[in-house]
Amino acid sequence: MIKNRNILRAAAVVAATGLLAAACGSDDDAAEEEAPAEDDAPADDEAAFDLEGATVTVGVENAYLPFNYVPVGGTEGEGWDYDAWREICNIINCEAEFVVAGWPDVIDQVAQGELDTAADGISITDERKEIVAYSQAYMTVDQKFIVALDDERFTTADDIISGDALVGTQVGTTNFELAVELLGGDSRVSAFDQFGLAVQALINGDVDAVIIDDAAGQGYVGENADAVKLVDDPLQADPLGFIFPLDSEIIPAVDYAIDQMRDGGFLDELGEKYFTDAFTVTYDDIEG
């Protein structure tokens, strides 16, 4: 009977929709349980910190001076993160493979186990700790403002905060969260997809200031020295760490490597190279 057939069809559709909804409504996929290639011995001694040449995929943005960027004419990325991870792999015997990823999507990618780790001047926060694990803090940065070079209005951070200055920053950063907190809401905050766009907006006059970690701020100031300057008034200190999937087994090895780099002076060397006037790659040289 035609009536029954239509009822059957309708029931089938409802059932299918229900199934579809149930499937879509289930929790996030559990992180892949693939044992990392660098499956190491449980012992606590130095031999355990040998990853036996295993490949570690490191997510980088390649759009964050001076931590990771691709210079014009080159195909390989450069920056603090690249040097640091190559040294880490020297110490614990691994092969760093850098993979370009977007921000803040890279955090989710690491959480899902798509990448072994990521390096992008990532602040250690409790919210992020819920979905990714961190190495020890390898550096602490201060958040600061950068403003236009010829801007007379702002000498302290407070000049920017009080008043109606527009502040630019990047989506999904602790900088953004701090800006929203300091300015009492997000009406004066513009969050761009990359810091480069925020700095561009600053140079164009679309925003009055950019809130950024001072290490990166130094990078953009050094390379746009004729257009922007740093307001040397720290807002908040953030520790930085590398992120890993929650079930990662290489964190102790990485922490050991960081200790070695700190004690051996390598971290200081990197600081000299990237966070001072010695850093000479200009912003215009950055490709992509």
Residues forming contacts to another protein in the complex (CB under 8 A) are 9, 13-14, 16-17, 20-21, 24-25, 28, 104, 107-108, 111, 127-128, 130-131, 166, 168, 171-173, 176-177, 186, 190-193, 197, 200, 204-206
Distance CA 11, CA 15 (A): 6
Cβ of residue 112: shortest distance to another protein, in angstroms?
9
Q: Which two tokens stand for residue 246?
A: 């929650």
Q: Which two tokens stand for residue 212?
A: 């950024």
Closest distance to another protein from the beta carbon of 156 (Å): 22
Q: Could you tell me how far CA 206 lies from the centroid of its own chain? A: 24
Q: Which is nearer to another protein, 75 or 187 (CB)?
A: 187
In terms of CB distance, is 57 or 194 closer to another protein?
194
Q: CB 110 → another protein: shortest distance, Å?
A: 11
- Which residue number, 62 or 174, has a Cβ lying nearer to another protein? 174
52 vs 186 by CB, closer to another protein:
186
Choose between 30 and 43: whose C-beta lies nearer to another protein. 30
Comparison of 148 and 157: residue with beta carbon closer to another protein: 148
Shortest separation between residue 205's beta carbon and another protein, angstroms:
5
With CA atoms as reference, report the closest residue to 89 among 45, 36, 38, 132. 38
CA dist., res. 123 & res. 66, Å (int): 16
> For residue 15, which phi and psi values (nearest 5 degrees)?
-65, -45
3-state SS string for 16-81: HHHHHHHHHHCCCCCCCCCCCCCCCCCCCCHHHHCCCCEEEEEEECCEECCCEECECCCCCCECHH
**Owner of token pair 């102790």:** 252
Q: Where are the alpha helices (DSSP H) in 93-153?
A: 105-111, 126-129
Tell me how far, at minimum, the Cβ of 181 lies from another protein, in Å. 11
**CB 206 → another protein: shortest distance, Å?**
6
